[in-house]
Amino acid sequence: MICAGIDAGSRTIKVVLLDKDTLAVVGTGVADQGVRQSERAMRLLDEVLVAAGLRRSDLGRIVATGYGRDSIEAAHTTITEITCHACGVRRIMPQARTVVDIGGQDSKLLRLDAQGRVHDFVMNDRCAAGTGRFLEVVAARLEIHLNDLGPLAQQSRAPAAISSMCVLFAETEIIGLLAAGIGAADIAAGVQSAIAARVAAMAGNRLAEPVAFTGGVALVPGMRAALEAALGRPVSVVDAPRLTGALGAALIGADSARSNH
């Protein structure tokens, strides 16, 4: 039996297929989010199934998580992304005690106990500062592709100080920096440092190691180093960081399927 985890995030949809018995990942996929979330998710699920040589009839359980989880009509159950990210990280990096997840429109910091359960968490979902959306806005202002922002930031020798904690005000501040002759590389590096500082403020003084970094922003070159500098601790990017939530959902589905047999 195959279990599917669907993470309907704010910017992308992720799918992970898992063998119920071996817990081996047999298929993964990522697609941009759309207006008809359920249709988009099912289309991606079918594409991943076909690529894995499977059919819908092979699926035993579908678990949805993420921002749009309640819109996934085919899901047998929905689980919060907090629980799913913790479960996914536990599978990949069982020793982790802190999880930093930075996605398209929110950022989360989870504190885990020795068994990988969520002890507590803090979440920023009301301001785009400290999220991938901030990076998108900056890339557009600098007239570069988002994928080029990280490499550009790595060319910086004197990162610009970005003091605004709101994306709208920060964009105005960036316009002023450009007008003042500050280089694009220094602005890009400054924005990465600002995002990391926002996460560090969420963490406060209580931050247990090891620290795992998940979410799409974990793929941006330079963000791990920026986080390490802001947190004052080593940070590890987990394997396939965008898929952590979907993996956790699939694992929870597999556990549920085994318990029911």
For residues 57-62, give the mean pLDDT. 93
The token pair at 149 is 């922002």
DSSP letter (8 states) at residue 220:
S
Which domains does the chain possess? 2-87+242-259 (3.30.420.40), 94-237 (3.30.420.40)
* Among the ranges given (31-35, 48-52, 175-179, 206-210), the one the predictor scored with the smallest mean pLDDT: 31-35
Cis? peptide before 159, omega within 30° of 0:
no
pLDDT tens per residue, range 139-186: 888 889 888 988 999 999 999 988 766 666 777 888 899 999 999 999
Q: pTM of the prediction?
A: 0.90
The residues facing 61 across adjacent strands are 3
DSSP H or E stretch at residue 12: strand 12-19
CB neighbours of 153 closer than 8 A, spacing ≥ 6? 159, 185, 188, 189, 191, 192, 221, 222
Do 140 and 134 touch, CB atoms closer than 8 A?
A: no
Q: Is the pLDDT of residue 227 over 80?
A: yes
pLDDT tens per residue, range 99-127: 999 987 788 999 999 888 999 998 875 55
With b meaning 16 or more CB within 10 Å and e meaning fewer, what string describes 20-56?
beeeebbbbbbbebeeebbebbbebbeebbeebebee
Which of the four pLDDT bands, split at 50, 70 and 90, describes residue 75?
very high
Q: Is 237 exposed, middle or buried (0-12, 13-18, 19+ CB in 10 A)?
A: middle
Residues 93, 95, 96: CA angle, nearest 5 degrees: 75
Residues 235, 101: Cα–Cα separation, whole Å: 12
The token pair at 210 is 């090891």
Mean pLDDT of the chain: 90
